[in-house]
Chains A and B, each alone.
Chain A
Amino acid sequence: MTRWLIILLGGLSAVAVLSAELEQRLFVAFAMTKAQQASSLPTDSGVFLQGHEAGQWSRVGPVIQAMNSITADPSNPSTLYIACGNGIVRSKDGGDSWRMVTGWRESDFTKIAVDPVNGDNVYAASVWGLSVSRDGGESWNPSNLGLEEKYCRSVIIDERNPKRLLLGTGAGIYESRNQGRSWNPIRKSSRSNILRLSRSEADSDLWIAGTEGEGAFLSRNDGRTWNPVAVKLKDRNLYGVALHASDARRMALGGWESGVWVSEDGGEIWIDRGAGLPSPNVTAVTFDPNVPDRLWVSTFEEGTYYSDDNGKIWVDGNLYGAYVLDLDSIPINQ
């Protein structure tokens, strides 16, 4: 699979094709909570990569509770970062060995983004705010100037301009144009907590956000303005948002007591595709990086499912009993 690399030339960005061949792999971060009784400890938890068969999952990273997400450095995919309750765990050898790169001041990370041009710049969202590393994860500092609420769950780097970041917070979506040094609201709302943010690979002006309490929003002008979509889900908590990698018209949403909804016309008409899933409580949604028309959803403790026909028929992808916290893909060396 080909991937894109941004090269900065005199302040302007250009796009070039990276020659190295990488493989995109689906990952899932989960805790096995279904068997959790009389204890606050899940029976198992961690980050797992999908094998070459759908529903084959193998662990990556240490065995530890509260593993929330994994990210690879786009310019050096052997470097992996795991966002977890203990902090951030990093591997520089493709997962053979791991090191806790944060200290006691940092905790409860949810999502990490690595600068695609300069891998030294790493941005980590946590419930305590954003932490930034300028040395590839060796040291971290908080960077919350301008945020109304520090609580944040999502951070994304604008691949066309890596100085620009979007952050999903407890008080809306914020933008930084100076590598996270300061923040300005681009969609402020004290009512909505931004649960998920995603940007289209097919149309880089297209963004989608899932919220707690206000449904979903789309931006078609690179984040400048945001409009609600899927009116039937307007007051729902949406934990899953997905944009198709090559067809900007295709997208999906999933949420609590909402099942999964899909659109094939760029978000104008939404169709309920929850039938066939064992639970209406969906915690994650994504398109498969290797089978582009395959849609994955995770239900709360009732398993992870995939569909090759945009949600008409669902196939069991295992993980029964899991509470999936993230379902996405990362590039890894073949």
Chain B
Amino acid sequence: MSPDTALVRFHILTGLMCWGMACLGAFASPPPAAPMSDAEFARLYRERCEYLIDQTVASTDPDDLTKGSSFTIAANLHRRTNLEWASKRLRLANDPPSGAMFWMHPMVLLMETGKGVLSDDDWGFIRELWRTYFPYRGDTENHWVMYYVSLYLAAEMFPYAGPEAWYNGKSSQEIMADAKAFILDWMRITTSYGQGEYDSPNYIEEYTRPMALLVGWAQDPELRLKGKMMMDYILLDYAVENLEGLYGGAHSRLYPRYLLQPGMTQAAGHGWLLFNQGEYRSNGGTLMIALSGYTPPPILFRIATDRDKAYVHRELKRTRWRFRHAGPDAFEVDGKSTIPVYKYSYVHPDYILGSSQGGLLQPIQQQTWSLVWREKDLEGKTNTMFGLQPYSSPIEGTMYFPSDWDTVTDLIARSKVDYDSPDKLEGGSPYEQVFQHQSSLIALYDIPEGTRFPLISTLFSRDIKQRIEDHSGWIFGQGGPLYIAYRPFAPGEWKPVDWTGLLQGGAGGWFSTGFKELSEGSQCLVSRSLKNGYILQVAPISAFDSYTEFQDTIRSLPIDFSLEPTPSVQFTGLDGLVLTARYGSPPTVAGKPVDYSKWELFDGPFAQADRKSQTLEMIYGQQRYFLDFKNGSAKTSIVTEP
């Protein structure tokens, strides 16, 4: 044995030993704090709720009738403050009404908080709005949920109003029956097949808002109970992939600003309110939760915040309904086509690495995989890494939107301005396949000739320090508390984020506001090789004595890849397991194919839910919290054997 070989083996051994200990959280976790009691948890949560409402009311300028949303009006009505301003602002803000379901649900919040406060004239004004303004129902899952919950509750306030009272010419009873049927069906589908618009750090509030309305104000006992259960369900979905408020893993929808700043998302705002994570930040979702009186079960707080040990968490979701180009993997639910989304997240005390299987899973804003890591101060931090093939095609557009082939891409890019740009940071691709085992991730690409943007792109943010392009082909870096190793299979070139200048040029207004500051200093590794791939291997800094030792260990890991005839790779990860992946074939771990057919809706140490079960079990130590949507029950229990 040569000295070099012996040294490599030493590094592998010591690296793997440290690695194994780090996986157990032996290095990373702070000393355990005394567990918070349920009562203390509830008291502190209530304090944050009151603080949030106080801050919203304090933002009111009673002398300025030009500012103030329906949320602000509602907070003032709740507190019985600035009532004269609220009444006048109500009229001005709705002259004319606009925003469809984004008008409806804040209006319902205003009406609910305004009971006993608003004058008869105010109510007359509001009733006239509901009679004359015909809101669009929208074209996304969140649109429909907001639309029908709002419509139900508005009608429930006037249960005997006839068809002449409503814009759609239906009576209150007809509206309530139709809306309730949709709401319950949406819950059934979600708890049976997974959410379509799954795990969005931005759009989480478009679900917590309507659920908060049901929790706080539905008079129908079934909707009130199931609204609470569904709120718990959505928050559990966030809690299990939560690291100090960061929403890790693969996501259905994310906007560029938030891709780069995972600590600034709407989800992070929920982390502050519900789990006391990060800094105070408010949004409509958290305000509605605070006003609704919703109290999360304490088990949610514990699941979201206990990061003593690393764990694997799997989820089954589905794509948005497809009416064209559904593809061979499609299956139908009640006559509508969708395909399964297999999510895998490795949640470590210091980071979350998560992925889906790749492919076109969601329109426009999909994030197929991501890495986020713990940072002390999240303000301005781009503590993330991800990759994509920037796909843009009318196939994707007409799959999900009822628009024409020739106009759909143009119309999408009117609001999502980076959709048809090679430098975009989000989106799925039919030419991308991703596979992950714990801290190792493999992505393969087989891009046909003639593809609009024939390249792949991986973000190396400005917060990945000490970047080294090693002679071995690995690229090393350090992101916060972890080491990162990235092995591209084909060469690429470094480009600044937004390398075509699309967003820096001011495209899209609000969409790109502040993007220059967020992206400055970050780069993308852009490769134009049509057959391509890469390995990502991460490890906590605490698992190694030095950066050099980490690099030596990574260099010594066996790796064998080829790009012809199709991209394939065999790689031994830091945990010593052999991973293989071939484009178009199921990946293997230690020789065993990954069996996606056994993927359940939730499968991890904190949550279990079987396919089509309409149930969810939350698990923490000996505590259990069981949601049963079929029978409409939520039960807490203690088991003797954890």
Q: Which residues of A contact B (CB under 8 A)?
A: 33, 36-40, 62-66, 85-87, 97-100, 103-104, 107-108, 110, 127-129, 142, 144, 149-151, 170, 193, 195, 212, 237, 239, 256-257, 281, 283, 300, 323
Contact = CB atoms under 8 A, between A and B. Distances in A.
Nearest to B510: A38
B16 interface: no
B335 A300 contact: no
The 8 closest A-B pairs by CB, nearest first: A99-B169, A104-B182, A100-B168, A65-B136, A256-B406, A38-B509, A62-B134, A40-B415
B85 interface: no
B181 interface: yes
Interface string B159-189: 0000100011110000000110110010000
Contacts of A33: 411, 414
B100 interface: yes
Nearest to A257: B406
B407 A300 contact: yes
Contacts of B323: 108, 127-128, 150-151
A128 B163 CA distance: 28
B88 interface: no
B500 to A, nearest CB: 18
B414 A85 contact: no
A64 B134 contact: yes
B267 to A, nearest CB: 22
A237 B415 contact: no
Interface residues of B, number: 35
B402 interface: yes
A85 B402 contact: yes
A323 B170 contact: no
23 contacts: A36-B411, A38-B414, A38-B510, A40-B414, A40-B415, A64-B134, A85-B137, A85-B402, A86-B137, A98-B169, A99-B170, A104-B148, A104-B179, A107-B137, A110-B402, A127-B402, A142-B335, A149-B324, A170-B324, A237-B405, A237-B406, A256-B406, A323-B407
A97 B165 CA distance: 12
Contacts of A87: 137
B169 A97 contact: yes
Contact of B335 (A97, A107, A129, A323): A129
B404 interface: yes
Nearest to A104: B182
A63 B134 contact: yes
Interface string B392-426: 00000000001011110001001101000000000
Nearest to A98: B169
Contacts of B181: 103-104
Nearest to B404: A239
Contacts of A86: 136-137
Nearest to B414: A36
B398 to A, nearest CB: 9
A324 to B, nearest CB: 11
Contacts of A107: 137
A100 B136 CA distance: 12
B335 A62 contact: no
Nearest to A325: B404
A283 B411 CA distance: 15
Given A33-B411, A62-B134, A142-B335, A99 B508 contact: no
Interface string B181-211: 1100100000000000000000000000000
A150 to B, nearest CB: 7
B592 interface: no
Interface of B: 100, 134-137, 139, 144, 148, 163, 167-170, 178-179, 181-182, 185, 323-324, 335-336, 402, 404-407, 411, 414-415, 417, 508-511
Which of A33, A37, A257, A283 lies at the interface centre, i.e. has the most chain B CB atoms within 10 A of its CB?
A37
B414 A39 contact: yes
A11 B170 CA distance: 38
Contacts of B402: 66, 85, 108, 110, 127
A212 B580 CA distance: 41
Contacts of A128: 323, 335-336
Contacts of B135: 64
A98 B134 CA distance: 11
Nearest to B144: A104
Contacts of A170: 324
A26 to B, nearest CB: 21
A111 B86 CA distance: 44
Nearest to A62: B134
B136 A237 contact: no
Contacts of A300: 406-407
A140 B324 CA distance: 22
A155 to B, nearest CB: 16
Nearest to A129: B335
Contacts of A40: 411, 414-415
A257 B136 CA distance: 31
A170 to B, nearest CB: 6
A37 B414 contact: yes
A237 B167 CA distance: 37
A85 B100 CA distance: 13
A94 B112 CA distance: 37
A200 to B, nearest CB: 25
Contact of A237 (B100, B163, B336, B404): B404
A150 B334 CA distance: 13
A99 B163 contact: yes
A212 B395 CA distance: 12
A154 to B, nearest CB: 14
Given A85-B136, A104-B148, A38 B415 contact: yes
Contacts of A237: 404-406
A218 to B, nearest CB: 22
A38 B511 contact: yes
Contacts of B148: 104
A66 B138 CA distance: 9
Nearest to A281: B406
B214 to A, nearest CB: 16
A283 B148 CA distance: 33
Contacts of A38: 414-415, 417, 508-511
A212 B394 CA distance: 12
Given A38-B511, A99-B169, A100-B168, 19 more contacts: A33-B414, A38-B414, A38-B509, A40-B415, A64-B135, A64-B136, A65-B136, A85-B137, A104-B148, A104-B185, A107-B137, A110-B402, A127-B402, A142-B335, A150-B335, A193-B405, A239-B404, A256-B405, A256-B406
Nearest to B136: A65
B161 to A, nearest CB: 14
A226 B163 CA distance: 47
A277 B509 CA distance: 32
B404 A62 contact: no
Nearest to B135: A64
Contacts of A283: 404
Contacts of A36: 411, 414-415
Contacts of B335: 128-129, 142, 144, 150
B333 to A, nearest CB: 13
A240 to B, nearest CB: 12
Contacts of A85: 136-137, 139, 402
A119 B572 CA distance: 70
Contacts of B100: 65
Contacts of B415: 36, 38-40
Contacts of A100: 168-170
A274 to B, nearest CB: 16
Contacts of A64: 134-136
Nearest to A300: B407
A193 B325 CA distance: 11
Nearest to A212: B405
Contacts of A149: 324
A66 B136 contact: yes
Contacts of A144: 335
B168 to A, nearest CB: 4
Which of B181, B404, B417 lies at the interface centre, i.e. has the most chain A CB atoms within 10 A of its CB?
B404
Contacts of B511: 38
